[in-house]
Amino acid sequence: MSIRFDEVHKSFGPKKRILQGVSFEVKTGEILFILGRSGVGKSVTLKHIVGVLKPDRGAVWVDGQDVTKLDELEMADIRRKCGMVFQHPALLDSLTVYENVSFGLRTPQYTQSLQRPLTEAEIRKIVLEKLSLVQLPSKVLERYPTEISYGMQKRVSLARTIAPGPDYLLFDEPTTGLDPITTNAVNELIFRLSRELKVTSIVVSHDMNCALKIADRILVLEGGNILFLGDVQETVRTKEPLIREFLAETLELLTPEERSRYGLGEKGAKK
Ligand SMILES: Nc1ncnc2c1ncn2[C@@H]1O[C@H](COP(=O)(O)OP(=O)(O)OP(=O)(O)O)[C@@H](O)[C@H]1O
Ligand SMILES: [Mg+2]
């Protein structure tokens, strides 16, 4: 069971050719980072998985189903399997944290998949469990999103996404605009959730530093296609100029431990 892109083409009008035959497969349980310049089609790629966009040509497979051929009703099942996490916390301000996190557990798609509605006690148990996974205290449950910090809102948003137990987590720029400490915390959270919940994650990002820290593989989009796809060690060693450019600053700031973990020699030493 996995996600696979098969020769996906997507244009917006005659001049905007965005994806031009993109093919890749996400391995079960891995964290795949998609990097690339602004406007290259990273978000467009994610949107194809949940059927928000349809390709002009090609297929997108999720768990053996070509989602480009599904109708809205069948798509609801795919969306249930795929938790989307947006750059900004997508919380409903008029609902408490508890109501926000439990939101997805009350939708018809979710209850139909269980073939019965959950009792309030069951919902509460799931909410508390997810809250603890994202390391939030239960005292925030009755607060409203505007009453908690931005970092906490991101965690609540993540708890809401994981509450219905998705098989895939799709992150679109989860750390853009965050301070370094919150960035580290969110990265650590993505890593831990992916491993503990055993979900398969795709993280769209600009941040090479995050990618090196938590990715299993890194995919770089450029000019409508995949310029590079490899693991972290392959990424730091590639001679591909655009990737060297993305890497330049990040490599400068690596600690000696990180350099050795990525198979790089000591800084300044001859290669
Ligand atoms: N629905 C749409 N209609 C028309 N053009 C679109 C649509 N969605 C995306 N595009 C265009 O497709 C291109 C790729 O957009 P996309 O949002 O995937 O970029 P991105 O790689 O995620 O960039 P960023 O890093 O800035 O988020 C952009 O030029 C964008 O304007
Ligand atoms: Mg984007």
Please say whether the beta carbons of 174 and 186 come within 8 A: yes
Q: Give me the DSSP letters along 247-270.
A: HHHHHHT--HHHHHHTT---TT--
Mutate to test the pocket of ligand 1, among 16, 56, 219 (most ligand atoms within 8 A of CB): 16
Atom of ligand 1 nearest to the CA of 40: 21
Please write the tens of the pLDDT for every residue from 49-77: 999 999 999 999 999 999 999 998 889 88
pLDDT at 185 over 90: no
Number of Cβ atoms within 10 Å of the Cβ of 28:
13
The pLDDT of residue 113: 81
Query: Is the pLDDT higher at 141 or at 256?
Result: 141
Query: Is the pLDDT higher at 182 or at 52?
Result: 52
Residue 252 lies in a domain: yes
Rounded Cα gap, residues 62 and 82, in angstroms: 9
Atom of ligand 1 nearest to the CA of 45: 18
pLDDT at 81 over 80: yes
Residue 270 lies in a domain: no
Q: Per residue in 119-144, is it b (16+ CB within 10 Å) or e — as a string?
A: eeeebeebbbebbebbebeeebbeeb
Q: What is the CA radius of gyration of the chain?
A: 20
198 dihedral zone (left: phi>0; alpha: psi -120 to 50; beta):
left
Atom of ligand 1 nearest to the CA of 13: 4
Query: Is the pLDDT higher at 209 or at 25?
Result: 25
pLDDT at 204 over 70: yes
Query: In Å, what is the CA distance from 226 to each residue of 53, 156, 246?
Result: 19, 33, 15
CA–centroid distance, 49 to ligand 1, in Å, is 15
The pLDDT of residue 270: 47
The pLDDT of residue 259: 85
pLDDT at 257 over 90: no
pLDDT at 250 over 90: no
Residue 134 lies in a domain: no
CA–centroid distance, 42 to ligand 2, in Å, is 5
Residues having CB within 6 Å of any atom of ligand 1? 12, 16, 18, 36, 38-44
Confidence of residue 271 (pLDDT cuts 50, 70, 90): very low
Give the domain extent around 27.
3-89+168-261
| Number of domains composing the chain | 1
Query: Is the pLDDT higher at 31 or at 151?
Result: 31
Rounded (10°) angle between helices 120-133 and 150-162: 130
Please write the tens of the pLDDT for every residue from 152-170: 998 899 999 999 999 999 9
Ligand nearest to the CA of 42: 1
Residue 18 lies in a domain: yes
Q: Per residue in 199-220, is it b (16+ CB within 10 Å) or e — as a string?
A: bbbbbbbbbbbbbbbbbbbbbb
- Return the minimum-mean-pLDDT range out of 36-45, 89-98, 106-115, 138-147: 106-115
CA–centroid distance, 222 to ligand 2, in Å, is 14
**For 191-218, what is the mean pLDDT?**
92
Query: In Å, what is the CA distance from 139 to each residue of 124, 131, 143, 144?
Result: 13, 10, 8, 12
Confidence of residue 268 (pLDDT cuts 50, 70, 90): low
Phi, psi of 41 (to 5 degrees): 120, 25
Please say whether the beta carbons of 168 and 81 come within 8 A: yes
Pairing of strands 57-62, 200-204: unpaired
Residues lying with their CB under 5 A of ligand 2, a single-atom ion: 42-43
Atom of ligand 1 nearest to the CA of 173: 27
Residue 204 lies in a domain: yes
> What percent of the chain is modeled with pLDDT above 90?
64
Residue 10 lies in a domain: yes
CATH code of 208's domain:
3.40.50.300
- Return the minimum-mean-pLDDT range out of 90-94, 113-117, 265-269: 265-269
Residue 136 lies in a domain: no
Which position has the token pair 């987590």? 169
Tell me, what amino acid is at 124? R
Mean per-residue pLDDT over the chain, rounded: 91
The pLDDT of residue 269: 57
Residue 102 lies in a domain: no
CA–centroid distance, 41 to ligand 1, in Å, is 6
Rounded (10°) angle between helices 180-196 and 120-133: 120
| pTM, 2 dp | 0.91
